[in-house]
Structures are given as C-alpha cells and as structure tokens.
Amino acid sequence: MTTTDRQAHWENIYTTKGEAEVSWFEETPTESLRLLQLVGAQPSSAIIDVGGGASRLVDNLLAKGFENLTVLDLSAVALDSARARLGDKGDAVKWIVADVTEMAADRYI
C-alpha cells in the first residue's frame, strides 16, 4: 500500500466518523498516561505521539503541564480536529502530517 492509499484510507475515516464514533476513542487515554509516568516523563520531556490522530492524549498532557509535545499523523483532518478542539492551547504543540514509515525525521527537527 502506498502512502497516498494509506492517507486516503485514514482521511476517509476521520471525514466520515465523529470523534467518539471510532472504536479506539478514549476520553482519557489512561494506559498511555500510565506508561509515560512509568518511564519518568517530565513536563520538559520531548514527547511525540506517532499516529496520534485526533486523540485526547495531547489534551491530557497539556493539562498536566507538558510543554514539548508533537503529534504526527497521516491524516490532516484528524490533526485539524484535535487542533480545533484545543484552540489557542494547540499553538504550543508541533503538528506533523507525515507517513512515519517514509518520513525523513531530520526534516522536522
């Protein structure tokens, strides 16, 4: 499957379903938050949510004071949705639309 095909697949999902209609929706991503605590993540830690979509993990991390956050996803629709939900708070987050299997990481540093 090409990046274009993958992107079309995910854009279609995020365009046709509401945030809470997808099977993976979590109001609070408890397990991800627990794992970040387990590894000792600090508010200054650089954290990237790969395949973050429209997840509320970023909302929860901002609320806990994390300040070096990036969300990467193939779907611009999903990232736009998360960004719109966050309002001004979303300005503090780096948003990257990319295929993680194809991207040149140094382009985003």
Which positions lie near ligand SAM, rule CB under 6 A?
A: 6, 10, 24, 51-53, 55, 72-75, 78, 99-101
Instruction: Decide whether 5 or 88 has the Cβ nearer to ligand SAM.
Output: 5
Residue 55 contacts residue 83 (beta carbons within 8 Å): no
> Identity (one letter) of the amino acid at 62?
L
Instruction: Decide whether 44 or 101 has the Cβ nearer to ligand SAM.
Output: 101
Dist. CA 5–CA 34, nearest whole Å: 34
Minimum distance from CB of 44 to ligand SAM (Å)?
23
Minimum distance from CB of 12 to ligand SAM (Å)?
10
Instruction: Decide whether 6 or 67 has the Cβ nearer to ligand SAM.
Output: 6
Minimum distance from CB of 94 to ligand SAM (Å)?
14
Contacts for 13 with CB less than 8 Å, ≥ 6 apart: 22, 75
Minimum distance from CB of 77 to ligand SAM (Å)?
9
Please provide the DSSP assignment of 37-64 as one string.
Answer: HHTT--TTS-EEEET-TT-SHHHHHHHT
